[in-house]
């Protein structure tokens, strides 16, 4: 038996250090018996440092690896994220906007409120009818109070963060608290065994480093899985057209300027602009299709969006290749983060995929090489499913548009650009709204049926409802929506303004768990 004891992660950044922390925390008790986690990081290669939005999963991941939420806020320029607002995606009109919040609809596990909302006499937004979170975001409020313990929520939340600060923060925690060995060195060569596994990596500064399991976190290059093991890349550019981003950091006009507690995604002629509020600045950028607009035109749209605030700010160009590796785990090598793939950041899926992959590696850690291929097969099946569902969900935002003002929007609704599974679901949803039994059959769906509901009905999708089918749950639905109204007013009165809470966190801290 060849035991798996030495884990070697090649590459730092958010992917490398988050993976190191999750694996080391899970297997800390084995370190006395020789289990090791080594992270090799180039001292000369900068991290991409753009991913600034997360999912609520991080509120489970950080405490599991022993991170204080107060320290995280103080050191990573963090803010709260309660969802995303999508502007001008449906018609392109100035008042065209909807929310995809992080709170589930009222009484979500008891009944599906969609048909009752569709059949109701009053048609406010679906979000406002079933959850307080859109109104909370409109009012610029935080999702909890300073008296709420670390990681607990009054309204469900994730984070916005400075990715350039997050990776060093994780590095310090992993090395000082979790026993991760940090090697600053450039990998020059990958040595394989006769049966095709990776035996070791040869570095310029630290010599040869052997391992039993290698985690490729080397970014877009995929030095191990792509270059050394030859795993091809599956391009998704025929479905998701955006292939370029222009990123810019925007200072606030005043130190006490409000901080949005949601991501804003504003559609443009050939893509969309993200806008994320951090305590010290805004992170913004234009994601677009270079086949539909030039770089110069895209930059003009970005600067027009920013106005005077972005007049002379430097813009960083980032190429996007939407897609993923055909296999994520081959032999004794598994890819996490950009080495596994990347999709446009429309729903902040990059960091959650890192978390889910690292968690699966840590929990299914092969005891020996003899069972690794079984674990790899299960990992690949789960990860392929997740990537496919994210592609579907991102494409959903485009296929629901009614915009016809540019080739970009017209091309996005061409049937040949829509995945088969999504086309089937769109047909299904014409007659029954998304719900658990339809298509969401995994324990850890990246996007639950509620997410599809918010996007579908936020963008004006119609489901044919048979009135007689609603009679049995009508009273329950009426009560749930009344309770939502009461809950909304209570939270709007009781929650602090977003920036005020962040000030208090920096000054006093949350109650530790």
Q: Which residues are catalytic?
A: 81
CA torsion angle 128 129 133 138 (round to 10): 20
Q: Residue 120 and residue 177: Cα distance in Å, rounded? A: 55
| Neighbouring C-alpha atoms within 13 Å toward the C-beta of 250 | 23
Exposure of 186 by Cβ count < 10 A (0-12 exposed, 13-18 middle, 19+ buried)? middle
Q: Residue 80 and residue 501: Cα distance in Å, rounded? A: 10
For the chain, how big is the Rg over CA atoms in Å?
23
Residues 6+ apart with CB under 8 A from 309: 250, 251, 253
Tell me the DSSP string of 276-292.
EE-SSEEEEEEEE-TTT
Neighbours of 469 (CB within 10 A): 11
CA 445 from chain centre, in angstroms, equals: 13
- What is Dmax (Cα atoms) for the chain? 73
Q: SS in 3 state form for 235-269?
A: ECCCCCCCCEEEEEEEECCCCCCCCCCCEEEEECC
Q: Which two tokens stand for residue 460?
A: 């004006």
Q: Residue 348 and residue 352: Cα distance in Å, rounded? A: 8
DSSP category for residue 223: I
Three-class secondary structure of residue 433 per DSSP: coil
Q: Residue 337 and residue 359: Cα distance in Å, rounded? A: 13
β-pair type (36-41, 6-10)? parallel
Contact 264, 274 (CB under 8 A): yes
**Closest by alpha carbon to 119, among 490, 483, 500, 468?**
468
């Amino acid at each position: 038996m060849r035991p798996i004891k030495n884990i070697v992660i090649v590459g730092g950044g958010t992917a490398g250090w988050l993976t190191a922390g999750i694996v080391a925390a899970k297997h800390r008790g084995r370190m006395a018996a020789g289990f090791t986690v080594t992270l090799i990081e180039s001292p000369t290669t900068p991290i991409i440092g753009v991913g600034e939005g997360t999912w609520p999963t991080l509120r489970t991941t950080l405490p599991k690896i022993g991170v204080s939420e107060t320290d995280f806020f103080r050191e990573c320029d963090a803010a709260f994220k309660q969802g995303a607002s999508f502007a001008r995606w449906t018609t392109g009109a100035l008042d065209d906007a909807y929310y995809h919040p992080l709170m589930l609809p009222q009484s979500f596990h008891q009944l599906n409120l969609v048909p009752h909302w569709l059949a109701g006499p009053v048609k406010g937004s679906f979000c406002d009818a079933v959850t307080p979170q859109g109104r909370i975001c409109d009012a610029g409020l935080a999702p909890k109070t300073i008296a709420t313990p670390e990681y607990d929520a009054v309204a469900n939340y994730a984070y916005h963060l400075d990715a350039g600060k997050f990776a060093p923060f994780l590095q310090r925690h992993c090395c000082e608290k979790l026993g991760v060995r940090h090697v600053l060195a450039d990998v020059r060569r990958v040595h394989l065994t006769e049966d095709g596994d990776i035996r070791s990596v040869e570095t310029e500064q630290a010599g040869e480093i052997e391992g039993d399991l290698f985690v490729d976190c080397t970014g877009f290059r995929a030095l191990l899985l792509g270059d050394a093991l030859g795993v091809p890349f599956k391009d998704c550019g025929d479905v998701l057209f955006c292939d370029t981003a222009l990123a810019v950091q925007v200072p606030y006009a005043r130190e006490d300027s409000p901080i949005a507690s949601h991501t804003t995604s504003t559609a443009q002629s050939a893509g969309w602009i993200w806008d994320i509020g951090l305590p010290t600045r805004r992170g913004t950028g234009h994601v677009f299709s270079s086949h539909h607009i030039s770089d110069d035109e895209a930059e003009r749209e970005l600067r027009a969006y920013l106005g005077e605030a972005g007049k002379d700010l430097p813009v960083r160009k980032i190429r996007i290749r939407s897609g993923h590796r055909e296999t994520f785990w081959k032999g004794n090598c598994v890819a996490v983060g950009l080495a596994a793939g990347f999709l446009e950041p429309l729903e902040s899926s990059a960091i959650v995929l890192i978390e889910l992959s690292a968690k699966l590696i840590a929990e299914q850690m092969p005891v020996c090489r003899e069972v690794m291929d079984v674990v790899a097969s299960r990992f690949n099946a789960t990860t392929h499913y997740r990537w496919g569902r994210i592609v579907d969900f991102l494409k959903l935002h485009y296929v629901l548009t009614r915009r016809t003002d540019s080739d970009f929007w017209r091309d996005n609704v061409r049937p040949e650009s829509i995945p088969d599974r999504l086309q089937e679901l769109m047909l299904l949803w014409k007659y029954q709204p998304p719900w658990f039994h339809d298509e969401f059959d995994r324990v850890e769906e990246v996007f639950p049926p509620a997410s599809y509901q918010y996007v579908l009905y936020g963008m004006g999708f119609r489901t044919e409802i048979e009135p007689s089918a609603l009679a049995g749950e009508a009273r329950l639905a009426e009560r749930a929506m009344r309770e939502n109204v009461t809950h909304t007013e209570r939270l709007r009165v009781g929650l602090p303004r977003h920036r005020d809470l962040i000030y208090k966190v920096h000054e006093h801290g949350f109650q530790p768990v």
